[in-house]
Amino acid sequence: MGEEDPAYYVLKEDTPPCIFGSIEKQRWSYACAKQLIERLIYAEGAENGLDFSIVRPFNWIGPRMDFIPGIDGPSEGVPRVLACFSNNLLRREPLKLVDGGQSQRTFVYIKDAIDAVLLMIENPHRANGHIFNVGNPNNEVTVRQLAEVMTKVYTKVSGEPALESPTIDVSSKEFYSEGYDDSDKRIPDMTLINRQLGWNPKTSLWDLLESTLTYQHRTYAEA
């Protein structure tokens, strides 16, 4: 199945492709663990009547997400992409693009995501027994595009000019070590959550980044 086939990257709750890398790429243990817990929960529901709803979050981002290395987390730590880029922006360093930043991802604002979870809690008769994607396919960008937008937003909220060379390419081996591997593109299918709960994300990529980076600049710039 080719990577341009939507069946490969548009992920439906009931028929997603099962994508794993080779054993020596240790990061796939994370995906295996998530799938295992979903299988256990679903089996408990089928066999013993457990009421459940499973949430599959697709890059929930917002203020206070993750940590800024050396400020409110370990200096040697590697947070997720938004916090990595925020750290670079706060320190006026080029944003590091792993393998050219060609991977594509979607991003959803935390307030939108929490609204989705509240709908599940408030409507158990419509949510029980279902797996829900919670993401925003309208906010799909490459990691390179995310870096470009974040640079523009941070320039606006901080009043500081962008660096002459705002990004730098690094290899995944250099950035993450030998055991890193990941899929190139993941887009959540939103059909089920829209049908069952009437939920759709509202916040654009620019708006959620403006809110997040305004908070981070106010909170961390002096530190």
- pLDDT averaged over 10-residue windows placed end to end, the chain, 223 residues: 58 71 73 89 96 95 80 69 90 93 93 98 97 96 96 96 93 69 78 97 97 93 77
The residue count of the chain comes to 223
Q: What is the largest CA-CA distance in the chain?
A: 61
In the residue annotation, 30 being an active-site residue is answered as: yes
pLDDT at site 115: 98
Residues 215/61, Cβ–Cβ less than 8 Å: no
Q: Which residues contact 199 (CB under 8 A, 6 or more apart)?
A: 115, 116, 119, 193
* Nearest-10 crossing angle of helices 143-158, 81-90: 40
CA distances from 122 to 137, 192, 201, 202 (A): 24, 17, 18, 20
Of the residues 8, 30, 42, 215, only one is catalytic, namely: 30
What is the full DSSP assignment across the chain? Answer: --TTSHHHHEE-SSS-------TT-TTHHHHHHHHHHHHHHHHHHHHH----EEEEE--EE-TT-S--BTTTB-TT----HHHHHHHHHHTT-PEEEEGGG--EEE-EEHHHHHHHHHHHHH-HHHHTTEEEEE--GGGEEEHHHHHHHHHHHHHHHH-PPPPSS-EEEE-HHHHH-TT----SB-EE--HHHHHHH-------HHHHHHHHHHHHHHHHS--
Tens of pLDDT, residue by residue over 134-156, are: 999 999 999 999 999 999 999 99
pTM score: 0.84
pLDDT at site 6: 61
